[in-house]
């Protein structure tokens, strides 16, 4: 057993360092379909709307500028997408987008986020806390929350958290039972 103690200590340290961030529960609309997300974003840009700033020492523009490459570096492995803040000249139909709301109001819903009715906490929480919603037009297709302590956008905990958040927000496996084809998953 004496040899196991350093191994157990190492495992505990890894767990503690890996558990500093948390992903909240996820919610998916019955209309969520990874193949739709893949078709809309593979080899294309995918618009991100950022609302709020968890780092008061940074201007909103500076935070947005520094966050984009962190999102890109931790994007999902599939599809091959490029995150962008660029707003198209004409609103696309369907309008697919990822909305990241930092320090969201406690009663903010995904439906309101997709309807551009975003509200924030009255004061910053002091954490990197984000409410993430994947929207198609005014419909919220998926949503989750994530939180960690971080010193800035480039903090490795932010990148790790975003990587996990994207995997939860855009799962590539069937989520719902298909009653028309009960023995086929998709």
Confidence grade of residue 184 (pLDDT, cut at 50, 70, 90):
very low
Nearest to 151 by CA among 48, 39, 63: 63
CB within 8 Å of 43: residues ≥ 6 apart: 79, 80, 81
CA distance 75 to 117: 26
Q: What mean pLDDT value characterizes the chain?
A: 86
**Range with the lowest mean pLDDT among 17-26, 36-45, 65-74, 162-171?**
17-26
pLDDT of residue 12: 35
pLDDT of 140-153, one tens digit each?
A: 999 999 999 999 99
Write the CA distances from 176 to 33, 37, 79, 111, 179, integer angstroms. Answer: 9, 16, 21, 21, 9
Q: Where are the domains positioned within the chain? A: 21-169
CB 104 within 8 A of CB 120: yes
In the predicted model, what is the mean pLDDT of residues 14-28?
71
Q: What is this structure's pTM?
A: 0.84
pLDDT higher than 50, residue 1 = no
What percent of the residues of the chain are helix, what percent strand, and what percent coil, each to the nearest 5? 30, 25, 45
pLDDT higher than 80, residue 181 = no
In the predicted model, what is the mean pLDDT of residues 40-65?
96
CA distance 148 to 20: 6
Q: What percent of the chain has pLDDT over 90?
A: 76
**Range with the lowest mean pLDDT among 36-50, 58-72, 169-183?**
169-183
**Range with the lowest mean pLDDT among 5-14, 79-88, 95-104?**
5-14
pLDDT of residue 3: 38
pLDDT higher than 70, residue 178 = no
Confidence grade of residue 85 (pLDDT, cut at 50, 70, 90):
very high
In the predicted model, what is the mean pLDDT of residues 106-116?
97
pLDDT higher than 60, residue 13 = no
Confidence grade of residue 173 (pLDDT, cut at 50, 70, 90):
confident
Query: Helix or strand or coil: residue 60?
Result: helix
């Amino acid at each position: 057993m004496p040899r196991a103690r350093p191994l157990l200590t190492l495992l505990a340290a890894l767990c503690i360092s890996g558990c500093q961030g948390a992903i909240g529960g996820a919610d998916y609309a019955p209309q969520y379909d990874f193949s739709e997300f893949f078709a809309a974003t593979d080899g294309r840009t995918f618009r991100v709307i950022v609302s709020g700033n968890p780092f008061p020492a940074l201007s909103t523009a500076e935070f947005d500028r520094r966050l984009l490459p962190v999102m890109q570096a931790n994007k999902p492995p599939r599809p091959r997408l490029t995150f962008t803040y660029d707003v198209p000249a004409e609103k696309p139909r369907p309008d697919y987008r990822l909305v990241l709301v930092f320090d969201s109001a406690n009663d903010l819903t995904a439906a309101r986020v997709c309807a551009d009715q975003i509200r924030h906490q009255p004061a910053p929480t002091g954490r990197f806390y984000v409410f993430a919603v994947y929207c198609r037009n005014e419909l919220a297709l998926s949503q989750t929350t994530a939180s960690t302590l971080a010193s800035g956008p480039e903090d490795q905990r932010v990148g790790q958290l975003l990587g996990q958040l994207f995997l939860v927000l855009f799962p590539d496996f069937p989520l719902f039972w298909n009653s028309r084809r009960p023995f086929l998953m998709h």
